[in-house]
Each structure stands twice: as structure tokens, then as C-alpha cells.
Amino acid sequence: MSETKAEIIVPKSGLDYALTYLVPEVFLNLLQIGSPVIVPLKSRKTYGFVSSINSAYPSKSANLKKIISISKNSFFNQNHLNFYNWLASYYHESIARVLDTALPSIDAKNFHLLDVYAEYNNQNKNNKNLDKSNININAPRGNSNNKNNSNSTDVPVVSSIISSSISSPVPYSAISITDTATDTADYLKLTEDQLKAIETIKEPIKENFYKTFLLHGVTASGKTEIYLNLLEYTLSLNKQVIIIVPEIYITNQFIDIMKKRFSKMLNPHEFAIFHSKIAKKEKLINWFKILSGEIKIVLGARSAIFAPLIKPGLIIVDEEHDSSYKQESEFLYNARDIAVMLAKKSNSVAVLGSATPSLESFYNAKTIKKYEYINIKERVSGRYLPEIKIIDLKNEFKSNNLNNNKNINFSDEMLSEISRNETIENVNQKRQVLLFLNRRGFSTFIICKSCGHQFICKNCAVSMVYHKGKNYEKSFLKCHYCNYTEEVPKLCPECLSDNIEPYGIGIQKLEDKVNELFGDSAKIARIDSDIGRNKKIGSDIFNKMNNGMIDILIGTQIVAKGHDFPNVGLVVVISADSLLNIPDFRSAEKTFQMLMQVSGRAGRGDMPGNVIFQTFNSTNYVIQYASKHDIEGFFEKELSLRKEYSYPPYAKIITLRLTDKDFDKLQERAFFLKKIISESIKENTEFKKISVLGPSPCPISKLNNNFRFQIIIKSPLIPGEKNISYMHNFIDIIKNKSELNKFFISRKIVIDVDPDVLM
């Protein structure tokens, strides 16, 4: 006699393997890959997903527990599961944690939410003949008891989530694109470069073969119009599309564009917004409608890359260089890299778009031809790139101090004389000004001038940032890593002096200075992530900017991503070299990208624009190349440095990050790990190319009350050689060492494959 068993992946367990359960006979006709189930785990009930089925399992060979409840409809198919397993393997993450990140959140207590799709469509169809008892049969609902329900059975099942008889649109705001849509927007006249790009990318979409394109177009070159044409073509082939953007708030701009372009082509239920802010019910509805093929377009931030397409045709990654595509907690994935592999495994097309591509993507396209390179060098409508001036602040303040016999410093003034004059000139000409400073708060830190004490976050080894209160709000100190806040002390805790002052500049301080200088003659607004967190306020500021109701906008990096302000005549980068001092191998690249992106906000309308870089390091190659819009020159220089020091794209990097609340234990564990790594390299000649840096404290040596060490493992990447696999084999060997395995399971040691930063 045999019984059927099922392998169940339990997302909340964190395990890197599935658990085995027996399948009651009444569930057999419902069982399939991806079925959500309720199972017992130790002393509690939890949810999981079926990953394999074995119908010839000896019934007496083990005392297995049984599945408690099951949903008829699966969350994924075998192809999706294969991809999840690949992700777990590549990123050295447990399959449980991969599913916990990729799939909509459910748990044993709200398992009944799985019937929401059928219930919602039933309400919309107003189909009185559809028996509601058939939609939810004895589904677990907390303390509810269905035993007395005459329509229930002995089988606890959530019935059909996706029914072929229920297909009406779902008219709620999260997925509707026609509620305020205007007529279909006029199609813009395309440039020759745009037409060529579209035709080149169309071919593999039509022929169903994999290809990745790097779409490198200067700011305002019309990349969005290329996306829209490709999207329309892909839909005409009855294929699905994923578009991911770097920030959630940018989805709103794309929604508006979609409303205008596709209001007559798409039904509301063929479009989905997918990101972490979507409500749980709405995300479940979206998920199953994508899986059924009903939804054709998925738009969202990085998590949208996990949308379960069944007919993938096109995956677009806008601003592919952006760091926000890298998840820095729990499952440490890069959505851009996943997009490329997803396209490869599904014979579809990936388009990576950017005005400032990542060095890795540029290298893959231009040097080793792994991607196809498409370059759009000119702005649409013949608009010119802005002229960029460099203001050397060393000379600026030195000259002013000599002439005025004063001791003026940058943190007090912030705006050079030329920046002030050009701001006034643009405001007088009814052109808008954008002042860019990528530092939230009022000052970067506060210090006791009597003893030198600096106020450090109690949880992290970083300075607390001073935020100045407005109106009746109190000023406070805030850690921008763990969000811990405290009141500004009146006395120094070390020497009891009251001689405490803020130092450095933040965007609030800049706002005060700008109001002091121009408040009588200009309408001024500030936008940063502290303000933008309130969707209504953030949208209101951007709408006012677009409608000409703001003269001077002061912003952090939130203004550099994807915004199109056609009347901006001047952009001033207050501190162009601020990112260069970060101790990370990507600091030059990120500084260059930031400068080019924010510069691209100027001159996007009919009139040309100007940009000013204020810097204390005017001769630095990053500043120089950015001021000339010389992207290829910068890439050539930076690639030569990366090659010299063996950093990506010329090397594969995997970081082992160790954390513990006890510093001594952490340090001991770090050196023990290094010892095992060194021994493992010596034992196998396959690993002779691997080099090891560390252990050493991370640049941010304490975060969220945990001390941090890291070991950096590197190996050269040689074009044509398949030498990535041995790096992964090596990590697997280290991870599975009996004396280390428990630290990986407990996440005292975390593996970061292809780290974005080494902080």
C-alpha cells in the first residue's frame, strides 16, 4: 500500500529545503505544483506551497504529518518554480526566503483571502445564479465554524480563485487606468534613432528568442516613447509585459502616460500596479489575474519582477543603473539582473534603459557584446544638452574673504555668487530653478564645541542628522539608517557644556538660506523623501512645479529620477563632489550618474538650460567628464581603474557579511571564517584564482544594534571563460561546513552576491 506525499516549501521557515507531508485522499484531485496549503509545523499551523508530488510513497516508512487545508488554484507553475530555484541557487538563499519575497503575503490566519478574486468578480457580475457557497468551501476563517453549514463538505478547500466563467473587469483604483483617462494621446513624431531602435528590438519579440538590449539615450532623448511603441507591439502579439521603475512614486507618472496612450486599447483589468505599497487583497487579485493571462501589463518597482507571467514577451528596466533595484535586506537580489535572466529563460526580450548605464551593463554591451547596444545621442526636437559650468568653491570663498575681509564658509553661504546671480536671472525671466543637494535634514551632524563630542546613533555607528523643527514642531536628531530619533540635547552628555552646534549642510538649511535670499521675489518649495513619503503632498509639489506655480524647487535625489519639468532653465548642484568621499569602489560611478541625471532636468522644453556644479574638487576626473557630457570618456577611464584593481566588471565579488550584538564573538567568528576559507582554497586547485579581502569591520561598523564585519571574495572574470560557476561551488562548500552552517541558517553570516555597495 502506498500514499501520496507532497514536498511543501514553507516561506516563513527560512529553510533551504522543502518539508514532506502526507496528502489526504480527499485532496488528491486538487493537488498541483504551486498549490497553497495549510500545514502543521511544530506547535503551530502555517502556510506553504506544493513543490513536488510523489504518489508512490510507502505509508509505513515514516510518521509524516498531513496537510490540513488546500486551495484549488496554484500560485505558480513548474516554470516559475524552476526560476525560483535558480534564484535560490545563484544568490545562495533559501528557497523559503525566495518565495517569501517573491509571492504575495498570506498566512494561516488569513488563508480565506485566497477566495477574494472569485468573490470580487462575483460581485461585479452580479450573477445571482452563482452560489456563494461554491466560492468558499469551509475555508479557515479564524474562529468561524462552518460545521453547521449545509453547503459545506468535509474537505477544507478554498474553491476556484480564477474561474473561466468569471472574467469581468475589476474596477478599483489600484489597477484601473481609465477612471480619469483622456482620449488616446497623439503619437509623437519619432526621430530616426527612435525608429531604428524600435525596429531592432521588435524582431526578437516577434520571433520569440531571447535578447537583452542596452538602450543608452541621453536625458530627454525619448526613451519613454520607445517603451510605449514596444509595449504596444508586444500587446499586439498577445504577450505580457513587465515594466519596472526605480521608485514607487515614478509609477504614477507612467500611469498617467498609459492613460493617455492606451485608454482605448486596454481594458482596466489588463493592467496592474505591483509594488510593496499595494494592499494585500489587491496584490492577490493582481497576482492571479497575471497568472491567468488576463493582465497584460505589469508596472511597478523592483518587486514587480516577480510577477508570474505566463506569456512573457518584453521586460523593461527603466533607469537600469539605479541602486534601488538592489534589495539590501532579507533576500539580497538585483531586479535588473533578474530581468535579464528571466528574459533568457523565457525566450523573451529585456530592455535596459538609461542615460547613464551601469558600468557592468555598458561593458556587457560595448566590450564583450553580451547585450546589443543601442545609442541615442540627441534629444528629441533638436533640443540641446545643457551647458555646464564648474564653480571651484575653494577659489570662490577665498576670493570673497579677501575682498570683503570676512571669514565666510561654505556651510553658511552654500550658494556661490554666480549661482545666486543666475538664479535671480532665471526667476526674473519666468524660468524655474532646481537646487540639488542630496542630504536630508538641516545639518549632517551636531557637535559639542567645548569637548568635541559628536552625537552618534545608539544603534548604529553613524552620526545623528539634525532636523530643524518648523512652526511648533520640535527640532530632533534622526538616524537615517535605523530611523531612531531623539530630542536635541540642551547639554553635552560628556562635559555638560551648552556649546552645542550643528555642522555641515542639509536640505533644510539650504531651504532656509534660499528663503532668506529669494523669499520676497520667488515661490519656493522643498521635496525630499521625508516630504515625499506623504503621497498627496509629494504629488502636489510636482504638479505645482509642472504648472509653473513654483519658481525654485530644492530637492534631493528624488528630483533626479525621471521627472520632466519643461520650464527648468537652471540646475545648481550645491555639492557636486559629496558622494566621492564614500569609501566604496562605485562612488565615482554613482557620482557621475547622479550629476548627469540631475543635469538632465535642465533645458527639456523649448528653451536651452544651464547647469552649475559647485565643488571643492574641480579637477577630479568625474567632475570634468560630467561637465562635458562625456559618458564614454568617463567609462573608459573608470573601466581602466576597475581593471587595475580587479573590481566589477573585471571581477566577480561575493561578500560574506557577519553580524552580532557581541563584538568579541563577532570578531572571533570572522577570523574563524577566514581560516576555513583559506584552508578550502588550498585544498582545491579549482579555487586558486580566488582572492580574499578581510575580515575587517564594515565602513558602517554597527547597524541596528549589531556590529558588522565583512569578508570580500573576488575572482577575475575573463571574457569567454565560464569561471563564475566555481565561485558558486566554493560558496556552497563554505556554507555547508558543519561548523559554519548554523551561522548561515541564523543569518549571523549573510551572503551578498554581486553587492552594490561594500558598506
Distance (Å) of CA 462 to CA 284, 590, 701, 704: 39, 21, 9, 11
Question: 351 with 358: CB under 8 angstroms?
Answer: no
Look up residue 244 and give its three cell numbers: 519596472
214 CB-near residues (< 8 Å, 6+ apart): 320, 352, 354, 357, 361, 362, 364, 365, 371, 372, 373, 374
Plot region of 296 (φ>0 → left; ψ -120 to 50 → alpha; else → beta): alpha
> Which is nearest to 354 in space by CA: 590, 664, 65?
590
Judged on CB neighbours under 10 Å (0-12, 13-18, 19+), 683 is exposed
Question: 276 with 349: CB under 8 angstroms?
Answer: no
Alpha-helical (H) ranges within 265-345 are 280-291, 335-345
Which residues belong to the annotated binding site for Zn(2+)?
Answer: 448, 451, 457, 460, 479, 482, 492, 495
Question: 254 with 223: CB under 8 angstroms?
Answer: no
Q: How far is CA 688 from the centre of its chain?
A: 35
Query: For residue 326, what are the β-bridge partners?
Result: 334
Question: 184 with 263: CB under 8 angstroms?
Answer: yes
> Which is nearest to 98 in space by CA: 362, 331, 392, 417?
331
The whole-angstrom separation of Cα 298 and Cα 241 is: 6
**Exposure string for 586-607, b = 16+ CB within 10 A, e = fewer:** bebbbbbbbbbbbbbbbbbbee
Look up residue 159 and give its three cell numbers: 474553491
The dihedral of CA 316, 319, 323, 324: what is its sign? negative
Specify the residue for cell string 549632517: 444
Tally of residues, the chain: 759
Which residues belong to the annotated binding site?
Answer: 448, 451, 457, 460, 479, 482, 492, 495
Question: 336 with 327: CB under 8 angstroms?
Answer: no
The whole-angstrom separation of Cα 707 and Cα 662 is: 7
Q: What is the DSSP string of 109-126?
A: GGGGGGGHHHHHHHHHHT
Q: At what angle do helices 192-207 and 223-236 cross, to 10 degrees?
A: 30
Q: What is the DSSP letter of 130?
A: S
Task: Report the relative pairing of strands 157-158 and 44-58 from DSSP bridges.
Answer: unpaired
Question: 158 with 72: CB under 8 angstroms?
Answer: yes
- Classified as helix, coil or strand, 752 is strand
> Which is nearest to 673 in space by CA: 712, 642, 630?
712
Specify the residue for cell string 502579439: 237
Query: For residue 40, what are the β-bridge partners?
Result: 45
The dihedral of CA 80, 81, 82, 83: what is its sign? positive
Q: How far is CA 531 from the centre of its chain?
A: 19
Distance (Å) of CA 430 to CA 375, 520, 548: 34, 15, 9
